Amino acid sequence: MDTWDIGNLAYLGLLGAVLVFWLFVQNREALGKKLQHLAGWVLIFIGVIAAVGLWDDIRREVLPGRAAAVSAGRIEVPRAPDGHYYLTMMVNDAPVNFMVDTGASGVVLSAKDARRAGIDLQNLAYSGRASTANGQVRTAPVKIARISLGPVEDRDIRGWVNEGEMDKSLLGMSYLERWGKIEIGGGDLVLQR
C-alpha cells in the first residue's frame, strides 16, 4: 500500500465514522434497532466480498465448462479456467485425461494412467530422460496400441511412461502432428484432419 492508498483509506474511514456518529445521534431512541440494521448490512457486505473472492470456484461448480465438441475429423477443445486444454481420450480402451502440451515431444503417460491402459509397468526399461519443470525424470518407451477420441482413432502410437509423479498425462507433438491443422483462437483449440 502506498501513501496515496493510505490517505484514501483514512479519508473513507473518517467519512464512515462521521456518518455512523450522525446516524446514532439522530436515532438515539431506536439505537438497538439501528444496531441490528447495521449488523445486517455488515453481514451482507461481507457476503458480497466473499462471493466476489470465490467467484471462480463457484462458477466452476455451478457452470461447468463445455466439453470437447467431436465430429468427423474435427475436434474443438475449450480452454479450461487455468488456461490449458484438456482431453479425455481412450487409450487401449481405458479413459485417460490428457493435458494438451505442445512443449512435450510425445505422448507421456503417468504411471497410474499407463497401468489403467493395460501397460505392464514391471517390464518397462526406464532408459530415457526428460527435462521437466521439476527437473530430470526417467522415462520408458512404450508402443500404445490404440488412442481414440470419438470417431477419430490412431494406432501404434509411440509414447513414454514417466517414472516421476504427474497429475495428468501429456498429449504432445508426436500425436498432435498427426492432425492436418491445429488452431488456437477464440478460447478454443481446434484439431482438423
The residue type found at 29 is E
Give the torsion sign (CA, 172, 105, 167, 61). Answer: negative
Question: Nearest 5°: CA angle at 189, between 80 and 64?
Answer: 30
Output helix, strand, coil percentages for the chain, rounded to the nearest 5: 35, 35, 25
- pLDDT for residue 65 is more than 60: no
Give the confidence band of 62 by pLDDT, cuts at 50, 70, 90: low
Q: Tell me the chain's radius of gyration from C-alpha atoms.
A: 28
Give the confidence band of 12 by pLDDT, cuts at 50, 70, 90: confident
pLDDT tens for each residue of 28-41: 777 777 777 778 88
Q: Is 5 helix (H, G, I), strand (E, B) or coil?
A: helix
Residues in the chain, how many? Answer: 193
Quote the distance between the C-alpha of residue 99 and its chain's center. Answer: 10
85: DSSP letter: B
Give the confidence band of 60 by pLDDT, cuts at 50, 70, 90: low
With left for phi above 0 and alpha for psi between -120 and 50, is residue 68 left, alpha or beta?
Answer: beta
Q: 144, 73 in Cβ contact below 8 A?
A: no
Cell (9 digits) for 182: 491445429
Give the confidence band of 73 by pLDDT, cuts at 50, 70, 90: confident
Cell (9 digits) for 83: 488456461
- Whole-model pTM above 0.75? no
- Secondary structure of 17-69 in HEC code, one letter for each residue: HHHHHHHHHHCHHHHHHHHHHHHHHHHHHHHHHHHHHCHHHHHHHHCCCCCCE
